[in-house]
């Protein structure tokens, strides 16, 4: 999203616009993250909802353009669509996927291998 879009959203809120320089080219030189933080701090949830709608719309457009849709069970699709969580950590199953990994062994198996 262009920084101009954020300023357009914030225009109806005079308390937000007072936090930025009056001259347009000076406003455009402000760091993007600073602008977003100021707007979100002063407006809050309406700004977040607006950004979420724009992001969702953009994702849908890209998925349609690149034909990224798949068929899915409706119940699973509903759970997936409601989730916003993303995990980037490598869980315990990651280590089991390594070619050199041994599956968990019982104490009995370990003792037998020691003998």
Q: State the pTM of this model.
A: 0.55
pLDDT above 90 coverage of the chain, percent: 48
Q: What is the mean pLDDT of the chain?
A: 84
Tens of pLDDT, residue by residue over 9-29, are: 999 999 999 999 999 999 999
Report the pLDDT value the prediction gives residue 77, as an integer from 0 to 100: 84
In this predicted model, which residue has the larger pLDDT, 114 or 91? 114
What's the per-residue H, E or C state across the chain?
A: CCHHHHHHHHCCCHHHHCCCCCCHHHHHCCCHHHHHHHHHHHHCHHHHHHHHHHHHHHHHHHHHHCCCCCCCCHHHHHHHHHCCCCCCCCCHHHHHCCCCCCCCCCHHHHHHHHC
């Amino acid at each position: 999203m262009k920084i101009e879009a954020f300023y357009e959203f914030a225009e109806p809120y005079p308390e937000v616009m007072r936090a930025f320089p009056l001259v347009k080219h000076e406003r455009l030189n402000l760091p993007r993250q600073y602008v977003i933080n100021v707007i979100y701090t002063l407006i809050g949830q309406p700004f977040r909802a607006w950004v979420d709608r724009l992001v969702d719309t953009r994702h849908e457009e890209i998925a349609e353009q690149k034909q990224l849709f798949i068929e899915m069970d409706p119940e699973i699709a509903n759970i997936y669509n409601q989730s916003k969580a993303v995990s980037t950590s490598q869980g315990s199953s990651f280590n089991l996927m390594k070619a050199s990994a041994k599956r968990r062994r019982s104490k009995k198996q370990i003792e037998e291998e020691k003998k």
